[in-house]
Amino acid sequence: MNITIVGSGYVGLVTGTCFAEMGNHVTCIDIDQEKIDKLKQGIIPIYEPGLDTMVLKNVKNGSLHFSTNLEDGLRNSKVVFIAVGTPMGQDGSADLQYVLSVASEIGQKIQKPMAVVDKSTVPVGTADRVADVIQKELNKRQENIEFHVVSNPEFLKEGAAIQDFMKPDRIVIGADHEIAFQTMRDLYAPFTHNHDRMIEMDIRSAEMTKYVANAMLATKISFMNEIANICELVDADVNQVRIGIGSDSRIGYSFIYPGSGYGGSCFPKDVKALKKIAEDKGYSAGLISSVEEVNDKQKLVIAEKVVKRFGEDLSGKTFAIWGLAFKPGTDDMREAPSIYIAKELVRRGAKIKAYDPKAMHEAKTFYLKDTSNITYYDSKYETLGEANAMILLTEWKEFRSPDFEELKMKLIEPVIFDGRNQYSHLRLEEKGLEYYQIGKRTEFSNGQ
């Protein structure tokens, strides 16, 4: 099938590349000429395991093309995906200017019947607005071309997006016409060959499903972090509590690991957007608001532990930070706890020595570029020299089994703050290390 993907960012590029991998002829469109030129050369603007190899393979075999001209794609396509950004507005709502701009251009240039698929995460009712915009442009042209707007939300995890797309848990399709449903069945048939994972529903329910899915996962994270904080107060161990409740099949173990809060491009934005959707209808979403409030506080819990251990004034202190990305497997630092923790420690006079396998360029050029007293290193052990403590903030595999004797030798003081509870099972105190984690009370060496 001939497909056009408008927007060659994270979602658009992964979507287009995976469709091309299954034998479709895909044209990815973007208004950024520099990005398109780099993609044609095989230079990928994001880090996602396996994506660069798959892009190069499909460009080489002619299945995947890149262009800045929408007409190049629409000319022969049966389906056009809208996969542009929906940044968060100041009031928490999703900004639809790019989605509606693409819809307008589709209306101006469409020449044949087509399915127009919203792949971007958009508020309930967006498909209606997209259809209205396209129809208005067709009316101006005095053209009568059949089109159907479809909602097909993405459920890609950063760091595992290729796997998620090629072997999906579910494929949600929202449409209002059998022609649209059949087109999407044909398109996704190779991905559902062994098991039918397609769920068909009305458009508004499909639009709502994406927000609810992310809000549910964010709720589990904030709930467990709230429990972790309570555990510290009553001298319980949240790591044991997690095992105790996770063994209940109704609860399970997914997303109940305590830590420094969630970040990334989806959870923070989608929780805020869902809250705003409710507010616009006159409903106060108390639970959703609490999820956000707990998460905002949780991002500074590790910084608060550092202050309890070393004092309010951190002048003259240096801290090694292992991990800057909001999660392993990505270079994404959007809303990462590391941003808030690093800034808070620097605000109190500390110096930071940081290392991350993939996200240091993002930190240097954007997220922490205006934060002074941060130095970046090429390996985790290089950060330890002359540091008063190590702070773990991203659970990259290379951090799972470090040489603790080397940590003790290089750090000024053998202190570890674990923002992801990666070492909670190792009894580090018996190895001569001061170990502070989330959800288990530890007496600070200064008596607090």
pLDDT at residue 447 is higher than 60 = no
* 233-241 average pLDDT score: 96
Strand 351-355 relative to strand 415-418: parallel, antiparallel, unpaired? unpaired
For the chain, the average pLDDT equals 95
Measured distance CA(322)–CA(341) in Å, rounded: 12
266 annotated active-site: yes
Torsion of CA 438, 440, 441, 443, to 10 degrees: -80
Rg (CA), the chain: 24
Measured distance CA(73)–CA(67) in Å, rounded: 8
For residue range 307-351, list pLDDT tens digits in order.
999 999 999 999 999 999 999 999 999 999 999 999 999 999 999
Per-residue model confidence (pLDDT) at position 92: 84
Measured distance CA(166)–CA(192) in Å, rounded: 9
* 356-364 average pLDDT score: 97
For residue range 48-89, list pLDDT tens digits in order.
999 999 999 999 999 999 999 999 899 999 999 999 999 888
Q: Name the band, by pLDDT with cuts 50, 70 and 90, for residue 93.
A: confident
Per-residue model confidence (pLDDT) at position 448: 52
pTM above 0.75, yes or no: yes
For residue range 274-313, list pLDDT tens digits in order.
999 999 999 999 999 999 999 999 999 999 999 999 999 9
Position 59: which residue type?
V
Q: Which residue has the higher pLDDT, 92 or 195?
A: 92
* 16-39 average pLDDT score: 96
Q: Is 327 left (phi over 0), alpha (psi -120 to 50) or beta?
A: beta
Which is it for the CA torsion 254, 259, 263, 264, positive or negative? negative
Specify whether the CB–CB gap between 33 and 55 falls below 8 A: no
Q: Which helix or strand (DSSP H or E) is residue 81 part of?
A: strand 79-82
Q: Which residue matches tokens 């050029």?
A: 365
**Candidate list 18, 28, 231, 266, residue with the active-site label:** 266
